[in-house]
Amino acid sequence: MKLNGKQFPLPEAVTISDFLKSQNYPDDKVAVELNGEIISRTKFKNITLKDSDEVEIVCFVGGG
Amino acid sequence: MPSVFLNGKRVNTSEKTLFSAFPKKENTIAILNGFQISEDIELNNDDSIYIIQKGILPPRDELEAMMSARHTPAVHKILKKSKVAVAGLGGLGSNIAISLARIGVGKLFLVDFDIVEPSNLNRQSYYIKHLGMFKTEALKEQLNDINPFIEVKTKNIKISEENAVNLFKDYEIVCEALDNPASKAMLVNTLLINLPKTKIISASGMAGFESSNTIKTEKKMKNLYLCGDYTTPAEPGSGLMAPRVMVCAGHQANMILRLLLGIEKP
């Protein structure tokens, strides 16, 4: 799949929730856009990522 | 015979150059079409000229025209009609609001629940006299001293998933300037999901004293612009400090300005 503009090999079908975990992204500090559509955190467990997907993940760090 | 605008009012002159029409004096500044002029220059029809006397407070109706002398005329007209919401009035939000007031954004909506504390003064635009005041009130007071010709609305409230849509639904440009990363994510997600016309200018990573040049602006999603270095959190040993926080605030304010002018490229 395409992750943040770059090709990213997806070895197996994985949910957004599990993918975030595998990349050490805390799921309460991210915004996830899948194929141009913003995905609510409540749906992370139900959506499986595919090779053809374009995913954008923004992970926020503290400070303001 | 050029017909020009002098301090906002139409006048006719038989002179051909700026300083023959409006002689240069020691205590005056001449601004022609948004640009300060020191060498004499030919006048054209509809030129906008401001002659400002140093050290003298002009009457209120002339003050606004004089303040806008440094704005590019077409730009000022658009900004005056624009409105922007700022969520969070800490180091980012207070400095962003001041920039937006200076450039003359007509309507600002400022949201924060907190009061000004001594530990805020290292980076946030507040003064000793503001300690204990609501940030909304302390900032509104400063904005009124900088540009009394804009409308400033405030709300003392902690932004939540439940109230965010209602708070910001009337704004197509919302600046995320919160501190806590989970709150940032909550606000960005809530607005992106529920307000599809709203553009968010958010920030992540501006602590410490790494190079200024690592702070950038990117269009991350259809309606999400992100400023910062994206990696440096505020944590023990890497606190938030005025210079880098203000660099990031400048990025956010400039992206807001660009969007108000219809430019979507970061």
Gap from A39 CA to chain B (nearest CA, Å): 8
Inter-chain touch A61–B205, beta carbons under 8 Å: yes
pLDDT (0 to 100) of residue B205: 98
* Paired tokens of B24: 């240069």
Q: Class of B75-260 per CATH?
A: alpha beta
pLDDT (0 to 100) of residue B237: 85
pLDDT (0 to 100) of residue B65: 79
ipTM over 0.90: yes
How many folded domains does chain A comprise?
Answer: 1
Mutate to test the interface with A, among B89, B114, B192 (most CBs of A within 10 A): B192
Residue B241: CA count within 13 A, CB half-sphere: 12
User: Whole domain around residue A34: which residue ranges?
Assistant: 2-59
Three-class SS of residue B171? coil
Of A10-14, B29-33, B57-61, B172-176, the least confident = B57-61
Q: Where in chain B is the domain with CATH 3.40.50.720?
A: 75-260
Helix segments in B55-213, DSSP class H: 60-67, 73-80, 91-102, 135-146, 164-168, 181-194
Q: How many residues does chain A have?
A: 64
Are A57 and B219 in contact by the 8 Å Cβ rule? The answer is no
Tens digit of each residue's pLDDT (9 = 90 or more) over A20-42: 999 999 999 999 999 999 999 99
Inter-chain touch A60–B179, beta carbons under 8 Å: no
**Architecture of the structural domain at B3-61:** Roll (3.10)
Gap from A2 CA to chain B (nearest CA, Å): 14
Read off φ and ψ for residue B79, nearest 5 degrees: -65, -40
Tens digit of each residue's pLDDT (9 = 90 or more) over B94-111: 999 999 999 999 999 999
DSSP bridge pairs for A39: A32
In a domain, A64, yes or no: no
- Which residue from B189, B202, B203 is facing A38, i.e. has the nearest CB? B189
CA distances from A48 to A26, A30, A54, A55, B63 (A): 18, 17, 12, 12, 60
- Which residue from A33, A56, A61 is facing B204, i.e. has the nearest CB? A61
